[in-house]
Amino acid sequence: MLKVNFHDLNTVEDTKLKFAVIMARYNEKWIFVRHKDRLTWEIPGGHREENEDINFTASRELVEETGAKDFRIVPVSIYSVTRDGIESFGKLFYSEVEYLGELPNFEIAEIKLFDIIPESLTYPLIQPYLFKKIEDFYTELKIS
């Protein structure tokens, strides 16, 4: 059994945040990435390095996984995933990318722009919840 929960920013101890996930838009579309060892799509993000600021993790992962060169990034929420009674935490970000450069030669094979969340997801039990949270945030942003 897997459960995804959301928590207000600054309500979970910083040292518990192990992942940064960045839902990014470019040219009015959502950026998804495909790992070179997979055929499925995922939201850009990754593990926090030891002693790394989680906000830096988000920026680093966005650059490494998308080639983003010019972007704004803001934290939106803390999220947790509970699997088999074990809870892990991450920070969810929203980004507006102004310029995409060349994709770095790391683990990502390609990026693709989507109007909506793609059907073929690497983490189908987690990513739809994260996408919905950011989609709601983005809708609020456009209204205000």
pLDDT tens-digit map of 32-67: 999 999 999 999 999 999 999 999 999 999 999 999
Q: Which two tokens mark 144? A: 């205000």
Residue 97: predicted pLDDT? 98
The answer to whether the CB of 97 falls within 8 A of the CB of 31 is yes
Confidence band, pLDDT 50/70/90 cuts, at residue 144: low
Total-model pTM? 0.95
Ramachandran assignment for 67, one of left (phi > 0), alpha (psi -120 to 50 degrees), beta (any other): left
Residue 70: predicted pLDDT? 97
DSSP string, 62-128: HHHHH-EEEEEEEEEEEEEEEETTEEEEEEEEEEEEEEE-PPPSSSEEEEEEESS--SSBSSTTTHH
Q: What is the mean pLDDT of residues 13-20?
A: 97
Q: For residues 1 and 69, which has the higher predicted lDDT (pLDDT)?
A: 69
The answer to whether the CB of 81 falls within 8 A of the CB of 88 is yes
Domains of the chain: 2-143 (3.90.79.10)
